[in-house]
Chain A
Amino acid sequence: MPKTIVCRCEDVTEEDLKRAFERGFRDLESLRRFTGFGTGFCQGKSCLCHAARFLAAVKGGDDMVSDPPRTRPPLRPTPFAAFAGALPEADAGAEEKP
């Protein structure tokens, strides 16, 4: 049987989403956390809309996804070294004991 890949970074299929839905993960954020789609290198840029469409379809046409997972920085994976010097003034208080 052919497989439908939803998330290429984390190798999540539509079958995985179906199984998760049947186990009770029925909102987009819970589906994401359970299956891992959107948590890989692209952070959901290519899979989020597929998963949202899947969810809208199984829940019925009117139940569109109103509260999608929040997009987290950075915009694309970026080396630590690029941020280490990004904000020199952020050192204020950094060496103090908490």
Chain B
Amino acid sequence: MRDRADLVIVGGGVIGLSLAYHLARLGFSDVVVLEQGYLCFGASGRNGGGVRQQWSTEENVLLMKDAVRRYRRLSQECGYNIWFRQGGYLFLARDDASAATLEQNTKLQNRLGVPTRLISPAEARRIVPVLNLEGVRVCAYNPTDGVLFPFPVVWGMARIASDLGVEINTFTRVTNIDVRGRQIVKVVTDRGAIATRRVVNAAGAWSPQVARLAGVELPNKPYRHEILVSEPVKPFLDPLVSDLSNGTYFSQTMRGEICGGLSDPAEPSSMESGSSLRFLSRMSRSLMRLVPQLGSLKVLRQWAGYYDETPDGQPILGRVDAVDGFIQLNGFGGHGFMMAPAIGQLAAEWILRKAEHPIFSTCDLGRFARGEQRRETFSIG
């Protein structure tokens, strides 16, 4: 392991690796990535792979438009097939409030060039004939959203970053971040220390623990999110379908499996990562309400990952007031995977001072103290 680096990235998930990948492609590879487990150990290896542009704020719609553009070419760039399939996202609204949200979001998305359409349940059934849409008022459908297979994205970005000179250390745990005065000087791991003046905290659900090593308190909280996958069947489901009444989402993978999860308002914040019968039961019921024929389909496997949630549903990006050289890229609350290629590029340009972007001043940690929180209201699952 190197004993010094210009920049150390804590977290070998998709956010940290996307940053490393984009930095290296810009010619900056004096970078070490530290990952506590194997690649894909955290949420980057546990999510459903949904990639949508249907958001409620201009920043997020534009960010995700850029991310889709980048995901479309990533397979060719990185030499791994990421199985990105743009089958669309279909949202279902059952009540007035959800219908109004979809209507408002669709207007915003159209203005920004995303081809979302508000459609009737009858039209939605032409897209997914097996759907039972009894009780659904209106749907929003964007054919350019999609799903991908997360693992090869992580491996592909790691491979290119590594080929370009970035050092990626798996099974390496950060035990301390040395700060002298207000300047970072060293990162200590269970495999040795690295002298550095810049550290990026891209540790997802572990970000508050990492920040505390440098004496910084983050307001992020981890929440378990459960998900499951079925046995594979012949392709019948083009879009990812999401029911806004209970946060259910499900899609069909390129292997033919049905993969999905749902919100649980009763889930407390914790680092619990086990699987529950409660989830399996609620998900089965919700899925069978939407597609009754799936009752005979078999569940293969269920598992869980963490959402790294912030108080306002927006990530924490950029500098912190108390410690120089400590950069946050965390708090993505279950949306980090879809945003990663866009965030990695922006952060790389910002760190190398090639371009400014307002996101690093509006989404910094200091916004909570300044009382400038901006709520993204369209979070699913």
Contact with B along A31-56 (1 / 0, CB 8 A): 00110000101010000000000000
**Cβ-defined contact, A87 with B288, below 8 A:** no
Main secondary structure of the interface of A (DSSP, over half): loop
User: In the complex, which residues of chain B have a beta carbon less than 8 angstroms from the beta carbon of A80?
Assistant: 230, 284, 287-288, 294-299
Contacting pair A84 B299 (CB below 8 A): no
Asked if A90 contacts B295 (CB within 8 A), the reply is no
Bound: A85/B98 CA distance, A: 28
Determine if A60 is an interface residue (Cβ-Cβ < 8 Å): no
Per the CB 8 Å criterion, the residue count for chain A at the interface is 32
CB-CB < 8 A to A73: which residues of B?
A: 275, 277, 280, 301-302
Measured CB to CB, the closest approach of chain A to B170, in angstroms, equals 8
With a cutoff of 8 Å between Cβ atoms, the chain A residues found around residue B318 in the complex are none
| Residue in B closest to A96 when the chains form the complex, CB atoms | B265
Chain B residues near A1 (CB-CB < 8 A)? none
Could you tell me the dominant secondary structure of chain B's interface residues? mixed
A86 and B266 contacting across the interface, CB-CB below 8 Å: no
Write the nearest CB–CB distance from B93 to chain A, whole angstroms.
Answer: 11
Of the stretches B38-46, B104-112, B123-131, B207-215, the one at the interface is B38-46
Taking a contact as CB atoms under 8 Å apart, the answer to whether B38 and A84 are in contact is no
- Bound-state Cα–Cα, A84 to B281, Å: 5
Closest to B296 in A: A79
A27: Cβ under 8 A from any B Cβ: yes
Give CA–CA (A10, B300) in the complex, Å: 14
Are A78 and B298 within 8 A (Cβ)? yes
- Render B2-16 as a binary contact track against A, CB cut-off 8 A, 1 for contact: 000000000000000
Is there contact, CB below 8 Å, between B246 and A95? Answer: yes
CB neighbours of A90 from chain B (8 A): 277-278, 281-282
> CB within 8 Å of A: which of B244-297?
244-247, 263-266, 275, 277-278, 280-288, 294-297
Residues in chain A near residue B300, CB distance under 8 A:
41, 43, 77
A72-B245 contact given A84-B295, A90-B281, CB 8 Å threshold: no
- Set of chain A residues within 8 Å of B277, measured between Cβ atoms: 73, 83, 86-87, 90
Q: Are B38 and A97 in contact (CB-based, < 8 A)?
A: no
Give the complex CA separation of A82 and B381 in angstroms: 23
**Alpha-carbon separation in the docked complex, A90 to B278 (Å):** 5
Q: Which of B97, B244, B298, B380 contacts A77 (CB 8 A)?
A: B298
Most buried by B among A39, A73, A92, A94: A94
A98 at the interface (CB under 8 A from B): yes
The answer to whether A84 touches B284 (Cβ under 8 A) is: yes
Q: Do A77 and B38 contact each other (CB < 8 Å), given the known contacts A34-B155, A86-B280, A91-B282? A: no
* CB proximity of B72 to chain A, nearest CB, Å: 23
CB-CB under 8 A from A33, the residues of chain B are: 40, 45, 151
Residue of B nearest to A33 (CB): B151
Measured CB to CB, the closest approach of chain A to B245, in angstroms, equals: 7
| A93 CB–B CB distance under 8 Å | yes
Does any Cβ of B come within 8 Å of A16's Cβ? Answer: no
Q: Across the interface, which residues of A come within 8 angstroms of B280, CB to CB?
A: 73-74, 83, 86
Complex Cα spacing A27 to B40, Å: 12
Q: How far is the CB of A50 from chain B (nearest CB, A)?
A: 19
Asked if residues A98 and B275 are in contact (CB atoms below 8 Å), the reply is no
What are the residues of chain A within 8 A of B39 when measuring CB–CB?
30
CA distance A93 to B41 in the complex (A): 30
16 further interface pairs, Cβ-Cβ under 8 Å (given A78-B298, A84-B284, A86-B284): A70-B303, A72-B303, A74-B280, A79-B299, A80-B284, A80-B288, A81-B295, A83-B277, A83-B284, A84-B281, A84-B288, A91-B282, A91-B285, A94-B285, A96-B246, A98-B265
Which residues of A approach B to under 8 Å, CB–CB? 27, 29-30, 33-34, 39, 41, 43, 70, 72-74, 77-87, 90-98
